[in-house]
Copies of this chain bind each other. A is one copy, B any other.
Amino acid sequence: MPKGVDQTESLKRLQRIAGQIHGLQRMVQEQRYCIDILQQITAARRALEQVGLQIMQRHVKGCVADAVRTTHGTDKIRELITTIERFVQ
């Protein structure tokens, strides 16, 4: 993960997700309605997915593109697809 705009943006998003998890802990402690808790869990998962996609874009633009330019990038591409596979499930 290189320094810069994207790093700051990812950290902001993770800060917000930390807040969502904290909110979830409070909801469970206060025995709130299950469906409301489940919606908040879905929101946090979606937010994690978004930060993941942002980091993936950065990775393709940086590491994968560099590998493609200097070698065939075959290993980096295989590694990327394996990561997407785990991410998808």
By a beta-carbon cutoff of 8 Å, the part of chain A in contact with chain B is 1-3, 7, 10-11, 14-15, 17-18, 21-22, 24-25, 27-29, 31-35, 37-39, 41-42, 44-45, 48-49, 51-53, 55-65, 68-69, 72-74, 77-81, 83-89
Contacts and interface: CB of A to CB of B under 8 A. Distances in A.
B74 A61 contact: yes
- How many copies of this protein are present in the complex? 4
A64 to B, nearest CB: 8
A37 to B, nearest CB: 6
Contact of A86 (B31, B42, B44, B57): B42
Contacts of A62: 34
A39 B2 contact: no
Contacts of A58: 34
